[in-house]
Every structure is written in C-alpha cells, then in structure tokens.
Chains A and B, each alone.
Chain A
Amino acid sequence: MTASDLPAPFRLMARDRVGSTNDEARRLAELGQAADFVVVTAREQTNGRGRRGRTWDSPAGNLHCSLLLAAPRLDVAAQLGFVAAVAVVDALSALVPAAAFRAKWPNDVLAEGRKVAGMLLEPAGEGWLVLGLGIDVAAAPPDEQVLHPATALTELGYGGSAELVLAAFCRAFAPWVERWRRDGFAPLRNAWLERAAGLGKPIEVRLERGTETGLFAGLDQDGALVLDQGGTHRRIMAGDVHFPAAPIA
C-alpha cells in the first residue's frame, strides 16, 4: 500500500510489525515529528493494548492503525473518539451494506451486536492526540477470550482488505473532523446518538469497582454517558457498557 491510496489530507506511514501503533505514533509526537492526519499502520502488532492493561489481539489481516491529530485542548480531545466512531459506522455500513453497524459508548463499534472495532486514545507531545483504531477485518477473538463477543468483517461477507477499510474510514473521518473543529461537539453528539446501540434501553456499566445499572439516557455535553437510575441521572466518564438484554437491534 502506498501513500497515494489514502485520500488527502491523510499521510500513511506503513510499518510491518510493531509493538503498538499508538506507541509508534506517540514517539513521532515526542520527537516533534507529528503532523495532522498522519496514519501509522502495522501489518501486525505484538503488543496491542486495550483499556486498563487489557490486550488487543492484532493478527495480520486486521486493521491496526493510529492517527495523529492536532488537539490543542486536552479537555475536549476525548470527543475525537466519538468523531471516529461515527466515521467507522458510516464507512463499514457502506462496505458491508447487509450488516447493521452501531456505536457502543464510548467509541466501540458493533456489527450485528458484536464488537468489530475498538479505540484507545492518548495525548502525546505538545498538543497532539494519538487515536488508536483496531478493526477486526479478517479475524475476531473467540468469545471466551473477550469481555464483549466479537466478529470480523469477513464473517459478515466482506471480501476486501484491511487497506481498503482504512481508506474508507479516512474518507468518512476527514469531513467529520472538519465539522467538529468548526462547529464543536453538538453536531457530532447528535450524529453519534443517531448511530448508538441501546439508547433508552437498560444497560450495565462495569466500572473499575462495581457495576452500575440503569437506562442509557444519552450523552452529556462532554460525551459522558448519562445513566438514568430511577429518575436520577448519573454521569459516567469511564467504564465498559454491556447490554443485559442482548441481542441489540
């Protein structure tokens, strides 16, 4: 794959085998070599990471990439995860029209109720955000190894490559980033809610300590999950969402 395969303004830095593309991207930022919309990809990650020390299976054939984005305000940088989730839903819906793709708070993407994409975001250097994105294109981990059952695009009938998935994501992502930078979070919040799984339904949020249950009432102005617990609204900034009454429509 060459840089010309990605639409402007993206610039590809393709690697073969790395520990984690997030670490590679962060290193660029710390060396002062970051630029907006640089995409670091790897054929394979040996140390793909998830939340709180979890690993992310990263076999060849799946998409593992990290984007460098200018994010001068750290307090709103997390909103870029919602921007990317909206773009992943749109890109995958276009590639696999027969499957239903939904966003799961905060920035996972589900296909037919099973997890197909995840993200991990980290600030880096001065004013940069590294947005790590993994999409299960060719293979998904078995159910007993993961918190949320997963699927891969090939299982849904997709016959293309990870490179084509990345190009489709980039095409969908650029205009949403531009919109977010110009108009703020409100339009992105609405776009995300339109694509959300389980809105208004009972959910379970597993926190570091304990579990909260309630109705998924929406997002606040920061992107926090609003959980309706018998009329009391609780704001959640971090946690793993589960849908007790699976499958999700």
Chain B
Amino acid sequence: MSTPPIQAELVRTLAELLDETNLTEIEYDTGSLRIRVARQGVPVAAHLPAAMPAVAAPPVSQPAAVAHDDASHPGAVTSPMVGVAYLSPDPASPKFVEIGQAVSEGQTLMLIEAMKTFNPIRAPRGGKVVRILVTDSQPVEFGEPLVIIE
C-alpha cells in the first residue's frame, strides 16, 4: 500500500481559513482523512485511520516539534488558557520558582493573564522543576507546555 500523498492544497486552504477567521485551530474530517491545522508552535499533522499506515506530515519547524515533545512529557504542566505568562507575581518581585527548585503539590509556578483574568498555574504534584519552557511576559497558547516537573 502506497503512502497517501500529503494534501498540500487542502492544508494550505485550511491555513488560509485559519488566518482569515483568526481561529487557533481547524479540523477537517472526510471520514478517511482527518487534518488538523493549528497555529503557534503546534505542528500541522495529518491523522489517518488506524487501518492505514500512520503518516505524519513533516513538522513545520524544529522548535514546533520540540514544543510538541514537551507537551507529551509526563512531567509537563500545560497552559489551561490562552494568555500571557508571568514568572513573578509582579514586576518588582522575585520569580515564583527557579530551575532546580523543589516544589510541593499546589505551589504556584507562574501566572497566566488573559484580559485581566489572572490564573495561577499550580504544580499538579510535588517534584523538582527541571525546565521552565516560557520566558516572562511571553504569550502562550492553550495546551502549551510551561514547566517540566520531575
């Protein structure tokens, strides 16, 4: 069975639609083929039914592929909303956590602001902060990995 060609035209059309509508994600499903196009850091991927060999479209860029791996990391804490990440409670204060620091369950790791809604991101479990994947004041997307705790 040959590898199905990547539907470049379809992906391009969906990507244009994404821009026009200002959506963050579009999923197109014909039954035999499902294509999801998402913006910012998430690779464009084609999902095929289990009966066919799984073929993933090449990632758009290397950083996007890395972000994707981080999201599936078992210790990843991901963003519950679109917004701006702050690593300290206010510009004059020290960061909530540093790399290498031990944290306990429920401890605040950072804040995410969207339209003056301030959402504290808390550690889902105790452990050590091994990576902080965002910089201060960086815009983040829904599901984007923020911190890795091991």
Contact = CB atoms under 8 A, between A and B. Distances in A.
Contacts of B22: 220-221, 226, 233, 235
Interface in A114-132: 119-123, 129
Nearest to B111: A52
Contacts of A120: 116, 118
Contact of B116 (A75, A81, A209, A235): A81
Given A222-B82, A237-B139, A52 B91 contact: yes
B6 interface: no
A238 B119 contact: no
A238 B90 contact: no
Interface in B76-105: 80-84, 86, 89-93
B115 A123 contact: no
A223 interface: yes
Interface in A198-229: 207-209, 220-224, 226
A238 to B, nearest CB: 4
Nearest to B119: A123
Nearest to A80: B117
Interface in A47-87: 51-54, 74-75, 77-79, 81-82
A208 B91 contact: yes
B113 interface: yes
Contact of A123 (B84, B117, B136): B117
Interface residues of A, number: 33
A174 B139 CA distance: 32
Interface of A: prevailing SS = mixed
Contact of B117 (A122, A207, A208): A122
Interface string B126-150: 0000000000110100100000000
Given A74-B80, A208-B137, A223 B115 contact: yes
Given A74-B80, A75-B142, A238 B115 contact: yes
A238 B114 contact: yes
A106 interface: yes
Contacts of B137: 207-209
B23 interface: yes
A111 B136 CA distance: 34
A107 interface: yes
Contacts of A224: 82, 114-115
B90 A53 contact: yes
A203 B84 CA distance: 20
9 contacts: A53-B93, A78-B116, A81-B116, A106-B116, A121-B115, A121-B116, A122-B118, A122-B119, A223-B115
Given A208-B86, A237-B82, 18 more contacts: A51-B113, A52-B86, A53-B93, A74-B80, A75-B142, A78-B114, A78-B116, A82-B115, A129-B117, A208-B84, A208-B91, A223-B114, A223-B115, A224-B115, A233-B22, A235-B22, A237-B114, A238-B115
Interface of A: 51-54, 74-75, 77-79, 81-82, 105-107, 119-123, 129, 207-209, 220-224, 226, 233, 235, 237-238
Q: Top 6 nearest A-B pairs by Cβ distance?
A: A53-B90, A106-B115, A78-B117, A208-B137, A121-B117, A238-B84
Interface of B: 22-23, 80-84, 86, 89-93, 113-120, 136-137, 139, 142
